[in-house]
Amino acid sequence: MAATDIVRPMALSTQDKAAALAGVPLFAGISAESMERLAAVAGEQEFAAGQFIVRQGQVGTGLYVVLSGSVKVLRGSDVIARLGKGEFFGELSVIDQQPRNASVEAAESTSVLALASWDLLALLESDPQLSLNMIKGLVMRVRQAGEKLGH
Amino acid sequence: MAELDQRPFPPGDYPVVVVGSGPGGLQTSYFLKRLGIEHAVISADPSPGGMFRHFPFFQRLLSWTKPYAPVPRDDRWYQWYDWNSLLADEPGARAIMPTLMDGTSSFPSRPEMEANLAAFVEQAGLAVRYDCRWEATRRDGERFVLSTPDGEYRCQAAIFAVGIAEPYLPDTPGFELVSHYVDTRAAATYAGKRLFIVGKENSGFELATGLLQWAQRIVLASPRPAKLSVNTHSLLGVRARYVLPFEDQNLGGGVFILNASIERIERAPGGFRVHCIRSENGAELSVEADEVIAATGFKCPLRDLPDLGVAVFGRSGLPAMTNYYESATVPGIYFAGTIGQGVAGMKKYGLPANSGAVHGARYNARTMVHHLARTHFGVELPRPEVKPDALVDLLLSEATRAPELWNQKSYLARAFSLDSGSGIRDEGVVPLAQFVDEEGPAAVAIAVETDDLGDIHPALYVREVGRPAVETLLASNPLHDFRSVENRAQLTSLLSGATAGAVR
Amino acid sequence: MAMTAQELVDMLSSLTLFADLTRPQLEQVAHKMTEESFPVGQRILRQGFTGTGFYVILDGEVAVKIDGEERARLAKGDFFGEMSILLGEPPVADIVTTRQLHVLHLGGPDLEGFLRDHPQVMYRMLKAVALRLRNASRWRS
């Protein structure tokens, strides 16, 4: 099945979404306004095991946060990382507008929250806490990448 | 005129020339003398004291000298309680400051400090050629030549302890119209005035505090929000003594503390108009004032040293230096006193050392002179042997009480080498950044550090041959006595490997 | 190099990290951060040490070294120290001066507040960190 970057309307109510988002470290400490806006613009998507969520080489149009289940990050056919509930992916392409540097595949039945790049950029601009959380997330990945490199 | 000049140090050739007779110059001269290194001291001033001959303007220092301390005054440990006396080995020249204070405050007055420095010159048997201004510098082969109206001084090494003493005014339009902190007049002359103070460092708040009862309104402005020392857990920021203007502002009593950059200052009827831009929102604000005082700091009066190749940096024009206060670009040119704050060190958690104050600079002067003595004059400093079973107690004792470590946290450390040939040797007090970065024999060093939560604790640095130093933080103690069973056990285990080679 | 306040602001405006700031904002940055100078061969960040600061290079050059092995060089406009501050962990690399270094320094505990106060700087930092991650991922593959 082809990967989809199309956000389907969510089954969850805005309130339910806000509750699901509250536990995600990326959104920790962001303002109530940001959270409300996020819940309004973000959409939920379901993937079956083995389905691609993003494909390496494509230009990214969104950021994804795992709400339930887990995903595999693939470079070619190598699994370079596994991400679970609360973790995010797809941010690099949004920030630098470059093609995706890895593919992401659902490892099991997985539900993700999808945030379109323009919505993410607008939120990053309006809420410094979100930017700070994002930088921290990226910095941690840089360090993990470095550690893998060193070993 | 045939008047006989009885001043010491006539122009001529000296191994070392020290310029300046403030605390930095005097302390440097003292240590040179102790090591028997011949030198001349010249000063543009007519008497000792440097900046303390005139400042602080409101006549009360910011550095404590506690007359009643838990240790005797002739003890080395007392230096932690007395930040204003210069260091000496001779009993008569030590801890002079507390003997000259009138009991009003544990912060000496300016005249008391000036007397303290004059007494030190007397007691330590120092000599200075006063009224002899260093005017120009040049090289002559291997030597430096310092010109003065009295004649030329030639030397192998020159040490400049000239302070950060030259008023600094920003190059923003209109600053040429206003007065600097140094030009502040008697407080009563500000009665009923609308005062605008540019700068929110201690000098600005010193004026605001002193003029609080005189001025009808005081505005303090600079781009950065003021920090308070009680919040930074250090001497960084506005000191507790000057907090009164904050309270006044919070109550709406006529003090306004603004975060704003000054765009320009112009004359207005009866005074000045200061055009500002608020840092928070970029909004324009113009404030009328009868008086504007620039408490914008000072720069180094280094004269023509940059032409000689001395690299300088920053708005204060501080020289770029090594960890031993030698010019990074012109070997043989050294600095002492407040200029030493140009050597940042590790600045853990952003906390600076106290090199800009007497209680830090006096130890820096010693590490600098010892380095100069070793490298320029082949002086061998004593490196007493330490018994292996005494090392742990010695390290914890130093961490608990050593004034060098407490006054210069994360900056100066007490080091011991663990060379397999010569056993454990006391290397004295060393710059920590130098110790952890230089190649050398196996060694350990102990420092005292403050973290971001204000916790004060010892830190041990272990350096093995050919490997970078490893940091280990030791446990603190509510009463700052680090000689605990826990720390002893941890040190013993940390050192067991490191000292094995040295003790065989 | 010695610079007047205005010259420093001019220089900051030319650095990518500060490219989106207005002049009064640049002046505030110049006041919040302190200028420091380090001689050749000194480490500015040290592997495994606590209490790191944040540094922006104004002039000079440093080498990034991991376990003594050089990985990269940084020069004017580059910044370092933010990784260990934001992670609350000691650096995993040494930063060693290879040319006399002139930097702006901000104490570690002040970094988050500084970035919040200057979202434009944060966004530039985000982009720089993203680029770093992309490069790190590239090495990894």
User: pLDDT tens-digit profile of A81-134?
Assistant: 899 998 999 888 888 888 888 899 999 999 999 999 999 989 998 899 999 999
C94–chain A nearest CA distance, Å: 13
| Candidate from C35, C53, C106 with C-beta closest to B314 | C35
Q: Do C133 and A128 count as a contact with CB atoms less than 8 A apart?
A: no
Beta-carbon separation of C51 and B344 below 8 A = no
Residues in chain C within 8 Å Cβ distance of A102: 137
Q: How many contiguous H segments (helices) and E segments (strands) does chain B have?
A: 10, 23
C119 close contact with B: CB closer than 8 A:
no
Q: Does A1 touch chain C (CB under 8 A)?
A: no
What whole-number percentage of chain A has pLDDT above 90?
42
Percent helix, strand, coil in chain C, to 5, is 45, 30, 25
Identify the pLDDT of residue B468.
86
CB within 8 Å: A124 and C123: yes
Task: Give the residue on C whose Cα is nearest the Cα of B277.
Answer: C24
C133·A138 Cβ contact <8 A: yes
- The pLDDT value recorded for residue A2 is 43
Q: Render pLDDT for C35-56 as a digit per residue (tens, 0 to 9).
A: 999 999 999 999 999 999 999 9
Phi then psi for residue B99, to 5 deg, are -75, -10
Q: C132: nearest CA in chain A?
A: A142
H/E element, A42: none
Q: Tell me the chain A residues in contact with residue C116 when contact means C-beta distances shorter than 8 Å.
A: 128-129, 132
What pLDDT, on the 0 to 100 scale, is given for residue C140? 45
Q: Do A101 and C138 touch (CB under 8 A)?
A: yes
Q: Which residue in C has a C-alpha nearest to residue B284's C-alpha?
A: C24
Determine contact, residues B294/B181, Cβ cutoff 8 Å: yes
Q: Would you call C102 an interface residue with chain B, using a CB distance cutoff of 8 Å?
A: yes
Please list every residue in chain B whose beta carbon sits closer than 8 Å to the beta carbon of residue C25. Answer: 279, 282
> A77: which DSSP letter?
T
Distance CA B146, CA B456 (A): 44
Across the interface, whether the CB atoms of C42 and B306 are under 8 A apart is answered no
Compare all CA atoms of chain B with the CA of C94 and give the residue at the minimum distance: B468
Please give the interface size between A and C, counted as residue pairs whose CB atoms are below 8 Å apart.
93
What's the burial of B198, exposed, middle or buried (CB within 10 Å: 0-12/13-18/19+)? buried
C8 touches chain B (CB under 8 A): yes
Which H or E element spans position B471?
strand B470-473
Set of chain C residues whose Cβ sits within 8 Å of the Cβ of A134: 126
d(CA B180, CA B57): 12
Which chain C residues have a beta carbon less than 8 Å from that of B468? 46-47, 68, 94
Report whether C62 contacts C42 (CB < 8 A). no
Tokens matching residue B175: 């600053």
Q: What is the mean pLDDT of chain C?
A: 92
The three-state secondary structure class of B111 is helix
How far apart CA C130 and CA C141 sit, in angstroms, is: 17
Q: What percent of chain B has pLDDT over 90?
A: 92
What's the gap in Å between the CA of A11 and the closest CA on chain C?
32
Tell me, what's the pLDDT at B399?
98
What pLDDT, on a 0 to 100 scale, did the predictor assign at position B87?
98
Query: What pLDDT score was predicted for residue B500?
Result: 61
Contact C136 A149 (CB under 8 A): yes
Lowest mean pLDDT among B81-90, B163-172, B192-201: B163-172
Determine if residue B466 is left, alpha or beta; phi over 0 gives left, psi from -120 to 50 gives alpha, anything else beta: left
Contact: C129, A139; criterion CB under 8 Å:
yes
CB proximity list for B181: less than 8 A, separation 6 or greater: B57, B167, B199, B203, B204, B207, B293, B294, B295, B296
Of residues A2 and B129, which shows the higher confidence score? Answer: B129
Is B38 exposed, middle or buried, given 0-12, 13-18 or 19+ CB atoms closer than 10 A? Answer: exposed
pLDDT tens sequence across B298-350: 999 999 999 999 999 998 999 999 999 999 999 999 999 999 999 999 999 99
Q: How far is C93 from chain B (nearest CA, A)?
A: 12
Cβ neighbours around B44 below 10 Å, total: 17
**Which of the 8 DSSP states describes residue B288?**
E
Q: What is the DSSP string of C43-106?
A: EEE-TT-SS--EEEEEEEEEEEEETTEEEEEEETT-EESHHHHHHTS--SSEEEEEEEEEEEEE
Helix intervals (H) in B133-191? none
Which positions ≥6 away from B203 have C-beta within 8 Å? B56, B181, B295, B297
Contacts of C40 in chain B (CB under 8 A): 328
Dmax over Cα atoms in chain B, in whole Å?
A: 83
Q: For residue C25, what are the contacts with CB-CB under 8 A and spacing of at least 6?
A: B279, B282, C118, C120
Any idea which residue has 């940390």 for tokens? B494
CA gap B275, B175 in Å, rounded: 12
Instruction: Quickly list DSSP for B295-325.
Output: ---EE---TTGGGGT--EETTTTEEPB-TTS
Closest chain A residue to the Cα of C125, Cα to Cα: A135
Q: What is the pLDDT of residue A3?
A: 44
Contact B/C (≥3 CB pairs under 8 Å): yes
CB contact under 8 A, A132 and C125: no
Please indicate if any CB of chain B lies within 8 Å of the CB of C30: yes
Say yes or no to pLDDT of B421 above 90: no
Of A101, A124, A142, the CB nearest to C129: A142
C45: Cβ–Cβ under 8 A, 6 or more apart, which residues? Answer: C52, C55, C80, C81, C84, C91, C93, C94, C95
Q: Quick one: pLDDT at residue A148?
A: 59
| CB pair distance less than 8 Å for C50 and B451 | yes
Q: In what order do the strands lie in the sheet with B255-268?
A: B179-180, B291-294, B194-198, B217-222, B255-268, B271-278, B284-289
Q: What percent of chain C has pLDDT over 70?
A: 96
Supply the pLDDT for residue A83: 94
- Please report residues of C whose CB lies closer than 8 A to that of A117: none
A31 interfaces chain C, CB cutoff of 8 Å: no
Contact: C82, A92; criterion CB under 8 Å? no
Question: What percentage of chain B has pLDDT greater than the value 70?
Answer: 98
Do B431 and B465 meet the contact criterion of CB atoms below 8 Å apart? no
Asked if residue B497 has pLDDT above 80, the reply is no
A57 touching C (Cβ < 8 Å)? no
**Residue B322 corresponds to which tokens in the numbers above?**
């090594």
pLDDT (average), residues B254-270: 95
Task: Find chains touching chain A: ≥3 CB pairs under 8 Å.
Answer: C
pLDDT value of residue B502: 59
Q: Please answer yes or no on whether B344 and C36 come within 8 Å at the CB atom.
A: yes
Cis upstream peptide for B382 (omega within 30°):
no
Neighbours of A129 (CB within 10 A): 18
> What integer best gives the mean pLDDT of chain B?
95
- Give the whole-angstrom CA distance, residue B128 versus residue B46: 10
- Predicted confidence at residue C134, as pLDDT, reads 84
C49:B223 CB<8 A: no
Could you read off the pLDDT of C80-103 as tens digits, one per residue?
Answer: 999 999 999 999 999 999 999 999
Check whether B37 has a pLDDT greater than 90: yes
pLDDT tens for each residue of B1-36: 446 778 999 999 999 999 999 999 999 999 999 999
Report the neighbours of C using a cutoff of 3 or more CB pairs below 8 angstroms: A, B
Q: Which of C100, C98, C102, C115 is nearest to C32 (CA)?
A: C115
Contact of A136 with chain C, judged by CB distance below 8 Å, is answered with yes
Is it the case that chain C and chain A have 3 or more CB pairs lying under 8 Å apart?
yes
Where residue A5 falls among pLDDT bands split at 50, 70, 90?
Answer: very low
Give the per-residue pLDDT at C141: 39
A39's enclosing H/E stretch is: helix A32-41
Q: What's the Cα-to-Cα distance from A137 to each of A26, A27, B204, B360, C87, rounded to whole Å?
A: 7, 11, 41, 40, 9
Contacts of C107 in chain B (CB under 8 A): 347, 349-351
**Cβ atoms B105, B60 nearer than 8 A:** yes
Q: Answer for the pair B420, B504: CB distance below 8 angstroms, yes or no.
A: yes
Of C116, C136, C138, the CB nearest to A146: C136
Residue C14: which of C26, C31, C2 has the closest Cα?
A: C26
CA nearest neighbour of B407 among B369, B355, B346:
B355
Residue B282 has pLDDT above 70, yes or no: yes
Q: Looking at chain C, which residue has its C-alpha nearest residue A147? A: C92
Give the chains touching B; criterion: ≥3 Cβ pairs < 8 Å.
C
Chain B within 8 Å of C75 (Cβ-Cβ)?
A: no
Q: Which residue of C has its CA nearest to A149?
A: C140
Chain-chain contact of C82 with A98 (C-beta, under 8 angstroms): no
